[in-house]
Amino acid sequence: MPKILKFGGTSVATAFAIKQIISIIKSSPKGTVAIFSAFAKVTDLISEAAEIALTNLVKSQELVYRIEMRSFGLIEEMISNPDYIREAEALVTIHLNELNELLESINFLKECHGSAIDSALAKGELISSAVIHFALLDSGIKSYLADSRNFMITDSNYCQANPQFNLITEKIKTELVEPMTFGDYHVAVSQGFIGRSTNLKTTTLGRGGSDFSASIIGACMAKNGYEIDSIDIYTDVDGVMSADPKLVSNARSIDRLSVNEILEMSYFGAKVLHPKTILPALEAQIPVNVMNTMNSEFLGTNIINNNVDSKSAIHSVINLKDLYIFRISSDDAKTCMNEINSLSLRIMATNSTIIYSSVIAYNGIIIAMVPDNTNLLVLHSNGKTPEPIFGCVLTGENLRIDSEIMSISKMFELGFHIPKVDYYQSPTDNSIIITSDVSLDLQRIHDELIIRSTAQ
């Protein structure tokens, strides 16, 4: 059965990476759809160019020249047939010329409207998909290049446009489903992130939006009866990991995860797929896999709708940064509750993340991650300043604060000091927060609770 493949910016950074992609596509079933992000950092470059164009056209167009050099360099490295080189260069040149015209109009009008930004940003994906389409043809793979603006219909909320599922389902039939069903193509190549509003202006789904595109395309093709095996999101690491490999040396990839756990992991700051992006796929009963472009042996992290396990299982540990505890006490329960509510709103207004709050009788606590500590000056309750603490969160399934998890306290007692360790359980049983007055040894927690317990 065909797949939807999505390749992010880092997967399309170098000629070597693109060669990997070509071999992945070659071995995928006929009828596969491949969705591309812009070449790595190109979206950033274009958005910088649009801003600079307000004051300095020449400087902004220098950035476009950098994109041109990179695209032409990749064309030269990837493609050998002179006809395909010519066609690829012609298409890329059209997009770059339009980008330069957009920058000229921004410079002339001295204003940068959302519609102009989206038209400019879209060039990143239009260029990468064009280059890769011709590179596929050059290696003998029958590729169909589809402009996703012809089916990814959105509202006019520029830079953060909302997909119109019914219209997309209708359009995708003629733009993708029919060509792939009746044409003799091995793969359709299209763009993530970009779309078109009902009043025919180019839009984008928000930064990092190409995962969302892949999931929408899968769901809407399936609604037209196009059978899809899975949606495979290609990144440059081995799927979703048990910890941040920069903090924990033996972090390993997780085989299967429920969407609810992913939801909590992303809330706590783990770099995982945004859950919103995969919901259309999961609602259409299409499995989502997070794959590694650079490691063809890796089978992927499989994300499913339901729980993975009926037993208690810890899958990951996430470090909680910039953590503070707010203590609230009052003479009566009602005042305490009001204080908790108003403080919660004030904390959220500072772009901080509340990760736990509770009240019992006249006393309550809020634990929050406050990345900008200048906000602490205004965030106190009853005159008390928030106290800095350390913490991490365990995520998994059917988690309960049991003796195994409490063994973390033992690990501290064995150490130099005996700090107090507190545990807080999420009502979903998908996570347990651990806090302490001293910094927690993430490596050790990972070894004891994830590596050792699964080895038994």
Contacts with Mg ion by CB under 5 A lie at 9, 37
Q: Which is nearer to Mg ion, 205 or 262 (CB)?
A: 205
C-beta closer to ligand ASP: residue 121 or 408: 121
Residue 207 interacting with ligand ASP (CB under 6 A): yes
Q: What contacts 24+ positions apart, CB below 8 Å, involve 245-250? A: 247/319, 247/442, 247/443, 248/317, 248/442, 248/443, 248/446, 249/443, 250/446, 250/447, 250/451
- If one asks whether residue 43 binds ligand ASP (CB under 6 A), the answer comes out as yes
**Contacts to ligand ASP from residues 137-166, by CB under 6 A:** none
The residues, any chain, with a CB within 8 Å of residue 166's CB and separated by 6 or more, are none
- Count how many Cα atoms sit within 13 Å of the Cα of residue 87 in the half-sphere of its side chain: 15
User: Nearest approach, Cβ of 192 to Mg ion (angstroms)?
Assistant: 8
The span from the first CA to the last CA of the chain, in angstroms, equals 38
Structure tokens at 161: 């446009």
Q: Which among 147, 60, 132, 127 has a CA at the least distance from the CA of 100? A: 60
Q: Where are the alpha helices (DSSP H) in 79-113?
A: 82-109
Stretch that binds ligand ASP, among 65-73, 148-156, 201-209, 223-231 (CB under 6 A): 201-209
Q: Which does 392 bind (CB under 5 to 8 A by kind): ligand ASP, Mg ion, none?
A: none
CB closer to Mg ion out of 10 and 169: 10
- The yes or no reply on residue 271 touching ligand ASP (CB under 6 A) is no
Which of Mg ion, ligand ASP, none does residue 192 bind to, with CB < 5 to 8 Å depending on kind? Answer: ligand ASP
Query: Which class for 190: exposed (0-12), middle (13-18), buried (19 or more C-beta within 10 A)?
Result: buried
399 binds ligand ASP (CB under 6 A): no
**In whole angstroms, what is the distance from residue 379 CA to residue 307 CA?**
38
**Contact yes or no for 426/357 (Cβ under 8 A):** no
Choice between 233 and 405, CB closer to ligand ASP: 233
The binder of ligand ASP chosen from 208, 307, 441, 444 (CB under 6 A): 208
Q: Which does 207 bind (CB under 5 to 8 A by kind): ligand ASP, Mg ion, none?
A: ligand ASP
207/276 with CB nearer ligand ASP: 207
Closest distance to ligand ASP from the beta carbon of 122 (Å): 10
**Residue with Cβ nearer ligand ASP (124 or 239):** 124
424 binds, among ligand ASP, Mg ion, none (CB under 5 to 8 A by kind): none
**Which range binds ligand ASP by CB under 6 A, 27-35, 36-44, 65-73, 387-395?**
36-44
Beta strand 256-258 with 301-304 is: parallel
CA distance 60 to 110: 13
Q: In the set 9, 163, 195, 386, which binds ligand ASP (CB under 6 A)?
A: 9
CA angle 104, 107, 108 (to 5 degrees): 85
Nearest to 10 by CA among 52, 35, 40, 51: 40
- Per CB under 6 A, the list member of 209, 364, 386, 391 interacting with ligand ASP is 209
Which residue, among 54, 56, 17, 65, has the nearest Cα to 37 in the 3D structure? 17
Nearest approach, Cβ of 277 to Mg ion (angstroms)? Answer: 13
- Listing DSSP states for 372-412 in one string gives SGGGGGT--BTTBPPEE-EEEEEEEES----HHHHHHHHHH
Task: Rule CB under 6 A: say whether 37 interacts with ligand ASP.
Answer: yes
Q: How far apart are CA 353 and CA 347, in angstroms?
A: 8
Question: For ligand ASP, which residue of 38, 75, 219, 379 counts as binding (CB under 6 A)?
Answer: 38
**195: contact with ligand ASP by CB under 6 A:** no
Task: By CB under 6 A, name the binding residues for ligand ASP.
Answer: 8-9, 37-38, 43, 124, 192-193, 207-210
